[in-house]
Amino acid sequence: MKTIGTKLAAAALTLCAFAVPTFAGKGGSNAKIVAAVQSGSTDAIIAEVERAEGLVCDDCIQTVTNLTEDNRYPVREVAAWWFAKRPGLAKVMADQMKNELVSGDSTHVRNAADFVGAVVDYTSLPALRQAMTRSGLTSDAKLAIVHAVGYMAHVDGNSILVQAMSDADATVRVAAIGAWRDVLGQVSVQPVEAKLVDGDAKVRAAAATVIGAYGDRNALSTLEQLVTTDTDPFVRRNAAWALGQIGSRDASAALTQASADKSGLVRLVAKASLATLK
């Protein structure tokens, strides 16, 4: 990744001069960012990178490029934010990150996904899609891919999220369901419906929330079953909420039964949802 900084440096002053006003970056410097890095303090690094928001500083490029590989997500995030303030440099970086997504190891895929997501580079979606199909990636890498797609919130990322919903790691499946909800212009929740019967309770609970948010009547019978028979109280609670959002009187019997649930939280939500049907 250090070679990226070298490539960027050649064009840095020209690009930055057009990207920011001459008074920006007051008080910031590469030396201060380096000192913050050496201190090991996440807060100090973030503060100094933010201080250099509009700083015309080609020396900063390599320093901030290195931060895109930091093990701490907040540090990688602020580094990407710094580049996002410099569209020309961000594009060059994103093009390099696409290569990392396709051929890098799990750590590089994670870092690359975090970057293209933070700078909202839609042209990276094909590379993210290819990365999601790669075998051997860690859950952290796959979560970063899902989060990048969710951050972009573009329907062209749907196929990536569908793939992620079938991942062996329940954490990845939950993240994909949440990202599906946030995609702009989303018109169908059919892939999420199947997750209502997932073997993991957190996945079922997340799916019920998204189904409810979209008022999906196709999942009515499954939600009725969940609210009355699921072993997890959070799943039953979310199913009760979803039934209320759908607002079908057909759910009255299931919600009435759930109103006597052993969990007080389920009872409360079921009663509130039942009231919306009347």
Distance in angstroms (rounded) separating the CA atoms of residues 14 and 9:
10
Q: Is 53 helix (H, G, I), strand (E, B) or coil?
A: coil
Instruction: Output the pLDDT for position 13.
Output: 38
If pLDDT is split at 50, 70 and 90, which confidence band does 27 have?
confident
Q: Is a pLDDT exceeding 70 seen at residue 32?
A: yes
Distance in angstroms (rounded) separating the CA atoms of residues 67 and 45:
9
Angle between helices 125-132 and 139-152 (to 10 degrees): 150
Q: Where are the beta strands (DSSP E) in the chain?
A: none
Distance in angstroms (rounded) separating the CA atoms of residues 83 and 186:
29
Q: What is the CA radius of gyration of the chain?
A: 23
| Distance set, CA 81 to CA 145, 158, 186 (Å) | 17, 25, 27
pLDDT tens-digit map of 157-213? 999 999 999 999 999 999 999 999 999 999 899 999 999 999 999 999 999 999 999
Give the pLDDT mean for 260-265: 96
Q: Is a pLDDT exceeding 50 seen at residue 6?
A: no
Instruction: Output the pLDDT for position 23.
Output: 39
First to last CA, the chain: 61
Closest CA to 45 of 73, 78, 71: 78
Record the pTM: 0.88
Give the pLDDT mean for 18-32: 63
Q: Which residue has the tokens 């979560």?
A: 143
Distance in angstroms (rounded) separating the CA atoms of residues 90 and 212:
38
Instruction: Output the pLDDT for position 57.
Output: 86
Distance in angstroms (rounded) separating the CA atoms of residues 74 and 263:
37
Angle between helices 220-229 and 201-214 (to 10 degrees): 140
Distance in angstroms (rounded) separating the CA atoms of residues 170 and 4:
35
**Side chain identity, residue 204:** R
What is residue 119's DSSP assignment?
T
Distance in angstroms (rounded) separating the CA atoms of residues 247 and 275:
10
| Architecture of the domain made up of 198-278 | Alpha Horseshoe (1.25)
User: Greater confidence, 13 or 270?
Assistant: 270
